[in-house]
A and B are shown apart, each in its own frame.
Chain A
Amino acid sequence: MSWVPAERVLEVVKAQRQVLAGEQARAAQFAGFHATERAKVDAERAQAVHDLGDAVLPSLEAKVIARAAETVGLLGLPAEDLPAKVEARRAWLAARVGEVERDPRYVQRELLLHPRTGSLPRAIAEATELRAPASEVVSTCDDHPRFERLLETGFGTPEFSAPWWRYSYWEDRSAASAIVALFPGKTTFAEVRAEYEGAKSTVAVFDADIARHRAELADVEALVREHAAAVDEHQHLDARALAHTRGRIVEHLLTSDASLVSQRLGRAPALRLLFLRASGLAAKLAYLDGVERVHVGEIAKDIEDRRVKLEGVEQRTRRRWAPMPADKFAKLAVDRRPAYERRWQRVGKVYESVRLYDRWDRGRYYDDLLWWDLMTRGRYDGSYLPDVTEFHRRHPGYRFEPDTRALALSAADMRRRAEEEAEDEEAAEDARAAAAAIAADADDDGGPLAGRVDAS
C-alpha cells in the first residue's frame, strides 16, 4: 500500500475548504437573488389580486353583488344584503359620532387634555408634586435593609420583645439609630415610625388621586380616538366595504380548486384570465420559495457536512502527523466542483422555469390545472412541494398534457361544434315554428285562433 505524507493531506484539505467556501458564497448569492425575485413576484401577485377584485366586483350595488356571486359561486353572498348592512353601519357611525361630539368630555377635550394647560395633566402634576415629600420619607425608610424588620417586630414600641443577649437585638438598635439619624429633628425610632406611617397614608391618598386623574385622562383620550376612527370609517365606508367584499371573493377564488374556478369562469373569459394570473402568481411564489428552501437547503447541508469532515481530517492529521493511505487520499482529493456545478445547473433550470413563466392564459385549456406542470412543462418532479403533493392526492388519475397547442385546437374544435349544435338547434327551432305555423293555418277554418289570424 502506498501512502501520502501529512503535508500533502493538509494542502488538499485547504484546497477543498476553498472550494466549499466558494460554494457557500454561491448559496448566499442565490438566497439574495431569491429574496429580490420573490419581492418582485409578490408585488405582481398583489397587483393581480387587486385587478381581479376590481373586475369581479366593480361596485357594491345589489345587482353587481348578485352577478359576482353567481359568477364565482358564492351563492350566499346576495342574501347577506351587504348594501343594507353598509347603510346600517353608516347610520350607526353617524349617530355615534354625534353622540361623542355631544359628550361634555369630548367638547372640553382641549381644556382637559392639553399637556401644559389641560386640567387633568395639571392635576396629575400637582398631585405628584404634593406627594413628593411624603414619598421621600417612605423611600428613605424602605431603602434601609432593616427597616421592614424593625417595623414588623415593633421596635420602639412596648411590643418589641427581642432579648438583649441576642446579637440581632443590638443590630436592631444600631439600625434604628442609623435610621433616626436620617431624619433631622427626630430623636427616637417611634417618632420616625409615626412619620413613616403618616407619609404612607399621604402617599396612598395622592396615588389614588393620580390614578383617578389618569383613568379620566385615558377615558377622554379613548373618546377622542374613537371619534377620529368613527369619522374616518364614515368617510371611507363605501370604499372599505367594497375592498372587504372584494377580498372575500378573491380569497374564495384563490383558495378553491383552480381547475374548478377556471371552468366556472369559462363564461367570463376576461375574468378567467385575471383569475388565472392571480392564481398562477400565487403558485409561482409558493414554488419559488419551495425550490429555494429545499434545493439550496440540501446543498447548504452538504457543504456543512463536508466542512465538518474536512475539519476532522485536519485535526487527526495534525495530531498524529501520520501519512494517509493513497486510496483514502484519492477520495479526499476528488474535485467536487463539477458535481456542485451540475447541482446548481439543475436548481437553476427548475427555478428559472418557474420564475420566467407568464403564460397564465394556458391554464384555461386544463380541466385539471396544476401550475407546476405548466411552468415546468411536466419535466421536473415537484413532489417536495406541499401544493403539488396535495394536488396529486386530490386528482389520483391526473396526467399532464404538455401539448397546449393540441389542447387549444381541441378546445376550439369543441367550441365550433357547440356553435354548430347551437345553430342546428336554432334551425330545428325554426322548423318547429314553421310546422306550428302551418298547423295553425290548417286550423284556420274552425280553430280557436281563426278570427285573430284573419285580423292580423
Chain B
Amino acid sequence: MNEADGTALLRARFTEAGYAITPNFHFVEGDIDVDLDGWDAAARVGYEYITAEAGDFKQFDAPTLARFEARMRRGDLFVLLIDEHEAVTREALDAAARGFLAELARVRASQGGAP
C-alpha cells in the first residue's frame, strides 16, 4: 500500500472518529518543526507516514522524534506514526488506526477531555 492510499484511509478513519483533519499540515511548535500528513489543530491529534521518499527521515530524525514522543507521553498531543514501510497492508493499517483511535479515546476519557 503506498503513502497516498494510506493517508487517504487514515483521513477517513480519523474523520469518522470526529476529528477535523487538515492534510499536509506544517507543524511548528517550540523546538519542533515538521510536516504532518494529517492534523487536527483543535484536538491536537494527527497522523504521519514516516517515509524516505518524502524526506521524512530528515525531519523526523532521532532527536526530533524523541522530543515529539515526549510530548505524547505528557498527553500534549497524539500522532499515529506509521514507522514501518514494508508490507503495510490496507487491513493492517486499518486495524492500527482503529486501535490507535480507541486507545486515544480511552486516554482522553481518563484525562477528562473529548473526544
- A interface vs B, CB < 8 Å? 163-168, 170-171, 173-174
Q: How far is the CA of A210 from the CA of B104 in the complex (A)?
A: 53
B41 at the interface (CB under 8 A from A): no
**CB-defined contacts of A171 to chain B, threshold 8 Å:** 84, 92, 96
Q: Are A166 and B83 in contact (CB under 8 A)?
A: yes
> What residue in chain A is nearest B50 (Cβ atoms)?
A167
Add 20 more A-B contacts to A164-B99, A170-B92, A170-B100 (CB < 8 A).
Answer: A163-B69, A164-B103, A165-B72, A165-B78, A165-B80, A165-B81, A165-B100, A166-B80, A167-B81, A167-B83, A167-B84, A167-B88, A167-B93, A167-B96, A168-B84, A170-B96, A171-B84, A171-B92, A171-B96, A174-B92
**CB-defined contacts of A163 to chain B, threshold 8 Å:** 69, 72-73
Q: Give the distance to chain B from A282, nearest Cβ to Cβ, in Å.
A: 66
B95 at the interface (CB under 8 A from A): yes
Partner pick for A174 among B69, B84, B95, B100, CB 8 A cutoff: B95
A165, A167, A170, A174 — which one has the most chain B CB atoms within 10 A of its CB?
A167
Q: Give the distance to chain A from B5, nearest Cβ to Cβ, in Å.
A: 15
Size of the chain B interface, CB-CB below 8 angstroms:
18
Q: How far is the CA of A126 from the CA of B99 in the complex (A)?
A: 48
**CB-defined contacts of A168 to chain B, threshold 8 Å:** 83-84
Q: How far is the CA of A174 from the CA of B96 in the complex (A)?
A: 9
Q: Give the distance to chain B from A179, nearest Cβ to Cβ, in Å.
A: 15
B82 at the interface (CB under 8 A from A): yes
Q: How far is the CA of A239 from the CA of B21 in the complex (A)?
A: 96
Q: Give the distance to chain A from B9, nearest Cβ to Cβ, in Å.
A: 12
**CB-defined contacts of B84 to chain A, threshold 8 Å:** 167-168, 171
Q: Give the distance to chain B from A378, nearest Cβ to Cβ, in Å.
A: 78
The 9 closest A-B pairs by CB, nearest first: A170-B96, A167-B82, A170-B99, A167-B96, A164-B103, A166-B81, A166-B83, A168-B84, A168-B83
Q: How far is the CA of A171 from the CA of B73 in the complex (A)?
A: 20
Enumerate 22 A-B pairs (CB-CB under 8 Å) in ascending A order. A163-B69, A163-B72, A163-B73, A164-B100, A165-B69, A165-B78, A165-B80, A165-B81, A165-B100, A166-B80, A166-B81, A166-B83, A167-B81, A167-B82, A167-B84, A167-B96, A168-B83, A170-B100, A171-B92, A173-B99, A174-B95, A174-B96
Chain B, interface SS category = helix
Q: Give the distance to chain A from B67, nearest Cβ to Cβ, in Å.
A: 14
> What residue in chain B is nearest A164 (Cβ atoms)?
B103
**CB-defined contacts of B93 to chain A, threshold 8 Å:** 167
> What residue in chain B is nearest A170 (Cβ atoms)?
B96
CB within 8 Å of A: which B60-87 residues: 69, 72-73, 78-84
Q: How far is the CA of A174 from the CA of B92 in the complex (A)?
A: 8
Q: Give the distance to chain A from B51, nearest Cβ to Cβ, in Å.
A: 12
**CB-defined contacts of A170 to chain B, threshold 8 Å:** 92, 95-96, 99-100
Q: How far is the CA of A173 from the CA of B78 in the complex (A)?
A: 19
Q: Give the distance to chain B from A329, nearest Cβ to Cβ, in Å.
A: 63
Q: Give the distance to chain B from A394, nearest Cβ to Cβ, in Å.
A: 71
**CB-defined contacts of B103 to chain A, threshold 8 Å:** 164
Q: Give the distance to chain B from A164, nearest Cβ to Cβ, in Å.
A: 5
Q: How far is the CA of A164 from the CA of B73 in the complex (A)?
A: 10
Q: How far is the CA of A165 from the CA of B68 in the complex (A)?
A: 11
**CB-defined contacts of A167 to chain B, threshold 8 Å:** 80-84, 88, 93, 96
> What residue in chain A is nearest B91 (Cβ atoms)?
A174
Q: How far is the CA of A165 from the CA of B84 in the complex (A)?
A: 13
Q: How far is the CA of A130 from the CA of B92 in the complex (A)?
A: 38
**CB-defined contacts of A173 to chain B, threshold 8 Å:** 99
Q: How far is the CA of A202 from the CA of B25 in the complex (A)?
A: 55
Q: How far is the CA of A167 from the CA of B84 in the complex (A)?
A: 7
**CB-defined contacts of B79 to chain A, threshold 8 Å:** 165
Q: Give the distance to chain B from A34, nearest Cβ to Cβ, in Å.
A: 60
Q: How far is the CA of A111 from the CA of B113 in the complex (A)?
A: 79
**CB-defined contacts of B81 to chain A, threshold 8 Å:** 165-167
> What residue in chain A is nearest B73 (Cβ atoms)?
A163
Q: How far is the CA of A88 from the CA of B82 in the complex (A)?
A: 80
Q: How far is the CA of A295 from the CA of B33 in the complex (A)?
A: 80
**CB-defined contacts of A166 to chain B, threshold 8 Å:** 80-81, 83
Q: How far is the CA of A164 from the CA of B83 in the complex (A)?
A: 12
Q: Give the distance to chain B from A1, nearest Cβ to Cβ, in Å.
A: 66
Q: How far is the CA of A177 from the CA of B88 in the complex (A)?
A: 17
Q: Give the distance to chain A from B68, nearest Cβ to Cβ, in Å.
A: 10
**CB-defined contacts of A165 to chain B, threshold 8 Å:** 69, 72, 78-81, 100
Q: How far is the CA of A112 from the CA of B73 in the complex (A)?
A: 67
Q: How far is the CA of A173 from the CA of B96 in the complex (A)?
A: 9
Q: Give the distance to chain B from A145, nearest Cβ to Cβ, in Å.
A: 8
Q: How far is the CA of A170 from the CA of B103 in the complex (A)?
A: 11
**CB-defined contacts of B73 to chain A, threshold 8 Å:** 163
A163, A165, A168, A170 — which one has the most chain B CB atoms within 10 A of its CB?
A165
